[in-house]
Amino acid sequence: MPSAEDAVQKIREKIAAGTLPRDAPGMTFAGFGTHQHCDGCDTPILPAEMEYEVPVRDGRTIRLHVRCVLLWEMYRRPGGRSEPPT
Protein backbone atom coordinates (compact mmCIF):
# COMPACT_ATOMS: atom_id res chain seq x y z
CA MET A 1 0.00 0.00 0.00
CA PRO A 2 1.39 3.45 -0.82
CA SER A 3 2.19 5.99 1.85
CA ALA A 4 -0.66 8.04 3.33
CA GLU A 5 0.53 11.11 1.41
CA ASP A 6 0.53 9.21 -1.90
CA ALA A 7 -2.95 7.82 -1.20
CA VAL A 8 -4.26 11.29 -0.33
CA GLN A 9 -2.87 12.74 -3.55
CA LYS A 10 -4.27 9.94 -5.74
CA ILE A 11 -7.70 10.07 -4.14
CA ARG A 12 -7.94 13.86 -4.37
CA GLU A 13 -6.89 13.74 -8.05
CA LYS A 14 -9.42 11.00 -8.82
CA ILE A 15 -12.23 12.93 -7.14
CA ALA A 16 -11.29 16.07 -9.10
CA ALA A 17 -11.18 14.07 -12.36
CA GLY A 18 -14.49 12.34 -11.61
CA THR A 19 -12.93 8.87 -11.51
CA LEU A 20 -14.06 8.59 -7.90
CA PRO A 21 -17.53 10.05 -7.39
CA ARG A 22 -18.39 12.84 -4.98
CA ASP A 23 -21.73 11.29 -4.11
CA ALA A 24 -22.15 8.02 -2.30
CA PRO A 25 -25.01 5.57 -2.03
CA GLY A 26 -26.59 4.55 1.22
CA MET A 27 -24.88 1.15 1.33
CA THR A 28 -21.31 0.05 1.68
CA PHE A 29 -20.25 -3.58 1.95
CA ALA A 30 -17.12 -4.82 3.69
CA GLY A 31 -15.27 -8.10 3.67
CA PHE A 32 -11.85 -9.60 3.28
CA GLY A 33 -9.74 -8.46 0.34
CA THR A 34 -9.96 -10.36 -2.93
CA HIS A 35 -6.69 -9.24 -4.60
CA GLN A 36 -8.64 -6.70 -6.69
CA HIS A 37 -7.08 -3.28 -7.08
CA CYS A 38 -8.19 -0.46 -4.83
CA ASP A 39 -9.91 2.28 -6.82
CA GLY A 40 -8.31 4.82 -4.50
CA CYS A 41 -4.62 3.93 -4.37
CA ASP A 42 -4.38 1.42 -7.26
CA THR A 43 -2.79 -1.36 -5.20
CA PRO A 44 -4.25 -4.83 -4.56
CA ILE A 45 -6.47 -5.34 -1.53
CA LEU A 46 -5.01 -8.46 0.07
CA PRO A 47 -7.05 -11.15 1.88
CA ALA A 48 -5.60 -10.01 5.23
CA GLU A 49 -7.01 -6.50 4.62
CA MET A 50 -10.57 -5.21 4.71
CA GLU A 51 -12.11 -4.40 1.33
CA TYR A 52 -14.98 -1.93 1.10
CA GLU A 53 -17.31 -2.26 -1.89
CA VAL A 54 -19.35 0.80 -2.74
CA PRO A 55 -21.98 0.64 -5.50
CA VAL A 56 -22.12 4.02 -7.23
CA ARG A 57 -24.82 5.66 -9.33
CA ASP A 58 -23.20 4.98 -12.70
CA GLY A 59 -23.52 1.22 -12.07
CA ARG A 60 -19.91 0.59 -11.07
CA THR A 61 -18.76 -0.87 -7.80
CA ILE A 62 -15.68 0.80 -6.41
CA ARG A 63 -13.39 -1.13 -4.09
CA LEU A 64 -11.28 0.57 -1.44
CA HIS A 65 -8.92 -0.22 1.44
CA VAL A 66 -10.04 0.94 4.88
CA ARG A 67 -7.69 3.93 4.77
CA CYS A 68 -8.74 4.79 1.23
CA VAL A 69 -12.48 4.67 1.98
CA LEU A 70 -11.90 7.02 4.93
CA LEU A 71 -9.87 9.41 2.77
CA TRP A 72 -12.51 9.28 0.02
CA GLU A 73 -15.23 10.06 2.59
CA MET A 74 -13.19 12.99 3.89
CA TYR A 75 -12.31 14.55 0.53
CA ARG A 76 -15.46 13.87 -1.53
CA ARG A 77 -17.71 16.12 0.55
CA PRO A 78 -18.12 19.83 -0.11
CA GLY A 79 -15.75 21.67 2.18
CA GLY A 80 -13.62 18.53 2.53
CA ARG A 81 -10.06 18.97 3.68
CA SER A 82 -7.83 20.80 1.29
CA GLU A 83 -4.60 19.71 2.96
CA PRO A 84 -3.45 16.18 3.74
CA PRO A 85 -4.01 15.09 7.33
CA THR A 86 -1.00 15.34 9.63
**Using CA atoms, how far apart are residues 36 and 63, in angstroms rounded to an integer?**
8
The model's pTM is 0.84
**Using CA atoms, how far apart are residues 46 and 51, in angstroms rounded to an integer?**
8
- pLDDT greater than 70 at residue 14: yes
Closest CA to 57 of 20, 31, 29: 20
Confidence tier at 79 by pLDDT (50, 70, 90): low
Each domain of the chain, given as residue ranges in start order, spans 4-76
| Per-residue model confidence as pLDDT tens digits over 21-58 | 998 777 889 999 999 999 999 999 999 999 999 998 88
Going through 2-83 in order, the beta strands assigned E by DSSP cover 29-32, 50-55, 61-65
